[in-house]
Amino acid sequence: MNHEIRALGELGTAFERVAGQRRSRWPAAVGRWRSTAVVAVIRVGAPVTGANGPHSPAVGRGDVRPATVRLLAVRAADPGGGPPWGMRFATTTRGLGCLTVGRVVDGELGVLGQDGAFRDDGEFHPLPTGSNATSPACGPLDRRGRLILNADVGEVPASALDANGLSAGGCLGPNVHEPGGTFCPVRDERNLYYGMLGPQATSLTYTAADGAQRTLVPQGPDGAYLIVQRAVESPGSIDAGMSVSLEPFAPITSVTYRNGLRCELTNPIASEARACRLPPGFAPASTPRYTHAQLASPVRATIRAAGDGRWTLTVSFVARAAITSALANYAMTLEVSHGAYGFSRDADVRSGTRVTYHDFAALPLAPGVYHGAITYYTSTTPGQAPFLANRGGVLVGRFTIRVP
């Protein structure tokens, strides 16, 4: 192509902006009856018990701190009726704040026995505190211990039971690759947009399902909001999953703050873009600062043939700095012709211990010499990608492997 296509460049710039908001997937009162304002009466069934892997205070998100759990006042009606949607906040042992969304009955968060969940028993099933049967949206707490975070989740069953709760049955969102699984009918899927904008936010404008611009007032000192819309995607489409960011997602079009600042999200005003880069009230957490000299460690790397042109890589190094929260980590990167592979393990590490990375998929590597590195990074912004942090990360050491 001889001529540059300006529109393609502009489109690329738009994707760069969006890509900066990393898609982040983090990855019994049986027999009671309760009344709600919306549903005359709903039977309360067994609590949700499905869990996706063991909890650990030192791994992944960490464990929920029970004293911090609170159901927020914000509610949103479901387009299909029934109990409203609500949101629960908690902090974890690894320095994160998390929002869990579900249906609310009598001041309790849970899921509904519909869409195949709980054999369509029509009951309300409370979601115990700390349960990971549904995916929370988590992000680093800021310096004041406050969570400012925005999330969107595509195509969640109206039951509110997502992929993590498979043991309770239910149809699957299209992001779930489960052999033999049944996709939810699109009428039973919801798109959720929710978050905490902080105490400075005074209003939020979004595009409703009918195309109209609506404004809502974020609630409480958290500036909490929750928008529930019918999903319109076809079952099985890929437009699903959770995204987490410091910046709200479409269909939210603008947020206004107490100081009069109005942050336009779809067509940012250049003069306000700088002020809107960090939302008013957000103070990124402090993390330890290290130099390369403080963290330097020889890196050992070996490879082993795994067949079919793939190679198992084992890399180890000594962690000079401890990892004590989800706000810091070590990452391995291996440069290849089309970018780089990266690996990290979300777990606490004691200072002075040897860390070994080997338990990841065998990599397709052509014969040649490859260079890699171990980097220490910190991440204090919701949804921030490790690679973004790596640009400012601290090099631990480099390694080279030769694939015969």
Alpha helices in 304-395 (DSSP H): 386-391
Site for other proteins in 272-301 (CB under 8 A): none
Sign of CA pseudo-dihedral 66, 67, 68, 69 = positive
Q: Which of 275, 251, 345, 335 is nearest to 301 (CA)?
A: 335
The backbone torsions φ and ψ at residue 160, rounded to the nearest 5 degrees and listed phi first, read: 80, 0
Q: Which of 85, 118, 249, 311 binds other proteins (CB under 8 A)?
A: 249
| Segment holding 11, helix H or strand E | helix 6-19
Q: Can residue 340 be called a binding residue for other proteins (CB under 8 A)?
A: yes
| Segment holding 213, helix H or strand E | strand 213-216
Using DSSP's 3-state secondary structure scheme, residue 70 falls into: strand
Q: Can residue 342 be called a binding residue for other proteins (CB under 8 A)?
A: yes
Residues in the interface with other proteins (CB under 8 A) total 67
Q: Can residue 205 be called a binding residue for other proteins (CB under 8 A)?
A: no
Bridging pattern class, strands 201-207 and 252-257: antiparallel
Site for other proteins in 165-204 (CB under 8 A): 175, 177, 191
Q: Can residue 387 be called a binding residue for other proteins (CB under 8 A)?
A: yes
Q: Can residue 395 be called a binding residue for other proteins (CB under 8 A)?
A: no
* Backbone Cα Rg of the chain: 23
Show the site string, 215-244: x = touches other proteins by CB under 8 A, - = not.
-----------------xx----xxxx---
Query: Cα separation of 59 and 153, whole Å?
Result: 23
The tokens describing 174, both together, are 């299209």
Instruction: Specify which residues 397 forms β-bridges with.
Output: 374
Q: Can residue 210 be called a binding residue for other proteins (CB under 8 A)?
A: no
Stretch that binds other proteins, among 3-11, 142-150, 214-222, 314-322 (CB under 8 A): 3-11
Site for other proteins in 134-163 (CB under 8 A): 152, 154
Whichever of 84 and 383 has its CB closer to other proteins, that residue is: 383
The tokens describing 392, both together, are 């400012």
Instruction: Name the minimum Å distance from CB 346 to other proteins.
Output: 5
Stretch that binds other proteins, among 38-46, 100-108, 111-119, 382-390 (CB under 8 A): 382-390
Q: Residue 173 in contact with residue 155, Cβ under 8 Å?
A: yes
Q: Which of 45, 60, 116, 218 binds other proteins (CB under 8 A)?
A: 60
Q: Can residue 209 be called a binding residue for other proteins (CB under 8 A)?
A: no
320, with CB counted inside 10 A (0-12, 13-18, 19+), is middle
Q: Which of 66, 210, 274, 338 binds other proteins (CB under 8 A)?
A: 338
Q: Can residue 2 be called a binding residue for other proteins (CB under 8 A)?
A: yes
Map tokens 């042109």 to a residue: 309
Return all residues near 146 (Cβ < 8 A) that are at least 6 apart: 97, 196, 198, 222, 281, 282, 283
Using DSSP's 3-state secondary structure scheme, residue 188 falls into: helix
Q: Can residue 68 be called a binding residue for other proteins (CB under 8 A)?
A: no
Q: Which of 374, 385, 394, 401 binds other proteins (CB under 8 A)?
A: 385
Site for other proteins in 26-45 (CB under 8 A): 26-27
Instruction: Name the minimum Å distance from CB 256 to other proteins.
Output: 17
Q: Can residue 208 be called a binding residue for other proteins (CB under 8 A)?
A: no
Q: Residue 204 in contact with residue 215, Cβ under 8 Å?
A: yes
Whichever of 104 and 319 has its CB closer to other proteins, that residue is: 319
Query: Cα separation of 247 and 27, whole Å?
Result: 19
The tokens describing 247, both together, are 């910046």
Query: What residues line the site for other proteins (CB under 8 A)?
Result: 1-8, 10-12, 14-16, 18-20, 22-27, 53, 56, 59-61, 152, 154, 175, 177, 191, 232-233, 238-241, 249-251, 265-267, 333, 337-347, 357, 359-361, 363-364, 385-388
